[in-house]
Each structure stands twice: as structure tokens, then as C-alpha cells.
Amino acid sequence: MPKRKSNDPFGFGSFDSVNSLNNGVKGFNKRNTLGMNKMRGAMAEDSFAMGQRIQGHEVTRIHKGGDFVVQKRDFFGNKVGKPTVHEIKTGNSQLSEAQRRKKARLGNRRYKVERC
């Protein structure tokens, strides 16, 4: 009986990675990468919203031209300043056309791009 390798505890052969299982499947790697990027973006948005709520700010989700509108509140719940649009980006992702238009319209003070 041949000696087993340390990375092959059950004797079925060794697999270096998930990619070695799907070498013949066209488009699997790109689909997997896009899915991971989507999940990473959702986690970054959730952590940003949680952090803003912990600081006592009002966070509202929007659908066009940004991710969140954040309104700062004081200790008594009164609004402080103007609402700010925050766009959450991960990695090296670029702003979409709608996001660029909204940033140009609002300016750098009221449109923030947060990199996570």
C-alpha cells in the first residue's frame, strides 16, 4: 500500500484548488469572481451602515446614484447640517455614469465615496 500524502487524508487524490475541479467549465471563474465581488460589496455596505448608526446618524438606503443618504443627528435627535450621499466601493471599482452625474451635481462636500 503506497504512503498517503499529508494533503490527501482519505486517499482520493489531491486537489490544489476549486479551479482544478472546473478547468473544463467555461465561464466558471468569472462567474465565481463576480459573485465574490458582489458579496464583498454587500458586506462593506452593511458594515458602513452599522458604523454610521452606532455613531447616531440616520442612514437611508437609496437606489440611484449612491448607496446611502446619511443625516447627522445630535444627542437630542435634531438634524445637524445637510444630508450627505455616500457611495461605498471595494477594491478598484469605478463610479457608474449615474454616480458621476450625481457627484458632479452635489459636489465633493455632499457626495462622499468611501473605499473599503
Of 43, 62, 50, nearest in space to 102 by CA: 62
Rounded CA gap, 111 and 97, in Å? 14
pLDDT at 101 over 60: yes
pLDDT tens string 35-81: 999 999 999 999 999 999 999 999 999 988 789 999 999 989 899 99
DSSP E strands in the chain: the ranges are: 58-61, 68-73, 79-89, 111-115
Look up the pTM and report it.
0.72
Going from N- to C-terminal start, the domains of the chain cover 25-115
Query: What CA–CA distances, in Å, run from 82 to 16, 50, 56?
Result: 53, 20, 15
Give the CA count within 13 Å in the CB-facing half-sphere of 45: 19
Which residue type occupies 70?
A: V
pLDDT tens string 27-37: 778 889 999 99
Rounded CA gap, 84 and 69, in Å? 6
Say how many C-beta atoms besides its own lie within 10 A of residue 92's C-beta.
6
Domain at 25-115: CATH code: 3.40.1350
